[in-house]
Structure 1
Amino acid sequence: MPSQLYISKEKLKNVMRLIKYKGLNNLEPIPIKKINNIIFYTDGHTRAFALWKLGFKKIKVEWETEELDWELYLICIDWCKNKNISNISHLKIISHSQYKKWWIKKCEDMHKLLYPSPR
């Protein structure tokens, strides 16, 4: 299950270029986490998408060991569910500037709502 809504076109080009010139062995495994019986990507969506585009049915993953803000991830997963995104192939490719506006800003705004800075 993805935990983001979009893929940056430019980031995808860079990953595809890396795979072409450096090979698959240089790609780190995709980190995943399981919460509430949902297994989701915590990072590496662009790498996973690139591998899917190249026809891979299985990819290298590893369990996330970092303690991250899982509440934020669960919100992102809800966003994905609301947009019927349940598979890496469902992610929409958009320009990097759109990605920054539509995804990065959305995440930053959510973070500010959940954790307002003291004044």
Structure 2
Amino acid sequence: MVDWLPIDEPQPSQLYLSRGKLDGVLSWFDPDEPDYDPLSVIELDGEWVLIDGHTRAFVASLAGVDELRVVHDTDDHPRELYGRCVEWCREADIRTVADLHGRLVSEGAYERLWLDRCHRAAAEGGG
């Protein structure tokens, strides 16, 4: 079911944004017509956590949008890994999508700094 959350409510689970993805979203995002696919959130320890759509959420934040279009994702996700990602974000003072400002990196750096880190964590038993 599609719902709306205040933009500062879901906790991000990602430390970086890819410049390539950002350029793509900027090319079509229209804050006056929120027809983007809903962003996936899960409930983790009583809190909504954004698990997909960080770039779209960040662009919405830049555009001054007050609410995000979300869907409660009930699939079987690696909650332990997402919990670890949330810990990393909190350690980096990333508590809202607006906090991702200054965390934009090239696609290569995104893969090296973020995706590889997640793969290592999953292999170590973090999800």
TM-score interval, smaller chain:
0.7 to 0.9
Name the structure 2 match of 1:111: 122
1:28 matched to 2:34: no
1:41 counterpart (37, 44, 50): 50
2:13 counterpart (3, 10, 15): 3
Name the structure 1 match of 2:111: 100
Name the structure 1 match of 2:22: 12
Deviation at 1:18, TM superposition (A): 2.2
In 2, Cα distance between the equivalents of 1:51 and 1:35? 23
Deviation at 1:41, TM superposition (A): 0.3
Q: Which runs of 5+ in 1 are unaligned?
A: none
SS in 2 for 1:86: coil
The number of residue pairs the alignment matches comes to 112
Deviation at 1:65, TM superposition (A): 1.9
Name the structure 2 match of 1:72: 81
Name the structure 2 match of 1:88: 97
Letter paired with 2:106: S
Letter paired with 1:83: A
Deviation at 1:24, TM superposition (A): 3.4
In 2, Cα distance between the equivalents of 1:50 and 1:37? 26
Query: After TM superposition, which residue ranges in structure 1, 4 or more long, deviate above 4 angstroms?
Result: none
In 2, Cα distance between the equivalents of 1:40 and 1:79? 13
RMSD: 1.4
Structure with greater proportional strand content: 2
Normalised by the length of structure 2, the TM-score is: 0.83
SS in 2 for 1:61: strand
Deviations 1:68-114 (A, max 9, x none): 11110000001011111101011111111110100001001111111
Normalised by the length of structure 1, the TM-score is: 0.88
Sequence identity (%): 29
Deviation at 1:57, TM superposition (A): 1.3
